[in-house]
């Protein structure tokens, strides 16, 4: 793509992001001072349309970026923004309050992202498999059921319903929890070595299946063992003019109620760096009219979770990328203190 076409495409993307209105050649000539006539711009727009970077809505003579146009903009033309001092101060103030629980940290982070972007924010908390367990308790619920209560090092409280043999007594449950807490306190399930595990199996030989069930519930695997999910600003979708179709909006909101869907949206992110999925690039069915910017956050070299913003394909990518990267860094700092 030659320089003139790049300038015309950049003008179309910027103007459409700003106004949500299809962009014509006269608008570009008047607002962006490219030094060429509207006729020349029309020729360039015709070429860009033929190349698949812009398209014409049925009801307008103007043009809008296609998914390919946004992709070229993001990869080749976009200049990252920096947050203003007022925005940085707002984030600092929101995090100045001491937070003792990871759920609170994630909720505040999600709120900040949705407020500052006017889009929907999604955050997936630390993988349970990698979260250190401070204490467990086993409480009898029925003849063959017990409630497993686990408190993580970051004060995340998780409850699980555990199948147990009908012969197990309350004293048996207390003994299992006591041995677990004495031998495994402060360890993540992923850190438990086979030697330690063999010793526990010997000590709790009669309850081996219960210990295995606890390990599976607390550890899971990388596909299922994710922790708390925070979502904020789902109704911001109504602020976007392209989502006037209530059936379309209802479908997206229903998707966002499903933790598995949110996990699917966020987990499609490289372990390091940032991911931008535009329109049809999204693998999750039902959000093909949206774009998603996601990143991971890491503590002490360990992948802890994912963070992202979902909005229309007409999103302000430059600002969204900066917000996601900034909040990922903030999460790293705050969670590192919680895990000390």
Both tokens assigned to 119:
């889009």
Residues facing residue 231 across a β-bridge: 122
Beta carbons of 117 and 325 less than 8 angstroms apart: no
Which tens digit of pLDDT belongs to each residue from 263-292? Answer: 888 877 777 779 999 999 998 888 988 999
Rounded Cα distance, 294 and 331, in Å? 14
pTM of this structure:
0.76
Q: For 28-42, write each residue's pLDDT tens digit.
A: 999 998 999 999 999
274 near 325, Cβ under 8 Å? yes
Cβ neighbours of residue 270 closer than 8 Å, sequence gap 6 or more: 296
Residue 201 burial (10 A CB sphere; 0-12, 13-18, 19+)? middle
Does the pLDDT value for residue 214 go beyond 70?
yes
Phi-psi region of 329 (alpha: psi -120 to 50; beta: other; left: phi over 0): alpha
The DSSP symbol for 40 reads H
Mean pLDDT of 81-90: 92
Q: Which domains does the chain have, with CATH numbers?
A: 3-77 (1.10.10.10), 85-126+228-338 (3.30.450.40), 129-219 (3.30.390)
| pLDDT of 145 higher than 70 | yes
């Amino acid at each position: 793509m030659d320089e003139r076409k790049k300038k015309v495409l950049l003008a179309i993307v910027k103007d459409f992001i700003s106004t949500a209105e299809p962009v014509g050649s006269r608008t570009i000539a008047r607002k962006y001072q490219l030094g060429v006539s509207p006729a020349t711009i029309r020729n360039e727009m015709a070429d860009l349309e033929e190349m698949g970077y812009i398209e014409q809505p049925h009801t307008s003579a103007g043009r809008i970026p296609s998914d390919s146009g946004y992709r070229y903009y993001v990869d080749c033309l976009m200049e990252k923004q920096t947050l203003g001092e007022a925005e940085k101060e707002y984030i600092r103030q929101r995090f100045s309050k001491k937070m003792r629980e990871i759920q609170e940290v994630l909720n505040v982070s999600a709120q900040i992202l949705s407020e500052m972007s006017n889009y929907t924010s999604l955050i997936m908390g630390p993988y349970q498999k990698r979260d250190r367990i401070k204490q467990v308790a086993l409480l009898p619920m029925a003849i063959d059921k017990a409630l497993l209560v686990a408190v993580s090092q970051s004060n995340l409280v998780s409850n699980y319903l555990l199948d147990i043999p009908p012969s197990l007594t309350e004293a048996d449950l207390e003994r299992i929890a006591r041995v677990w807490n004495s031998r495994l306190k402060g360890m993540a399930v992923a850190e438990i070595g086979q030697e330690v595990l063999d010793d526990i199996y010997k000590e709790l030989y009669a309850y081996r299946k219960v210990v295995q069930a606890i390990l599976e519930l607390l550890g899971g695997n990388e596909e299922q063992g994710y922790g708390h999910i925070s979502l904020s600003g789902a109704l911001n979708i109504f602020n976007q003019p392209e989502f006037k179709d209530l059936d379309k909006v209802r479908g997206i909101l229903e998707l966002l109620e499903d933790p598995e869907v949110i996990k699917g949206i966020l987990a499609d992110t490289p372990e390091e760096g940032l991911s931008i999925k535009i329109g049809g690039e999204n693998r999750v069915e039902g959000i093909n009219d949206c774009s998603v910017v996601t990143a991971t956050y890491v503590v002490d070299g360990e992948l802890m979770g994912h963070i992202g913003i979902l909005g229309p394909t007409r999103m302000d990518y430059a600002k969204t990328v900066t917000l996601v990267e900034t909040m990922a860094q903030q999460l790293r700092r705050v969670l590192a203190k919680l895990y000390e």
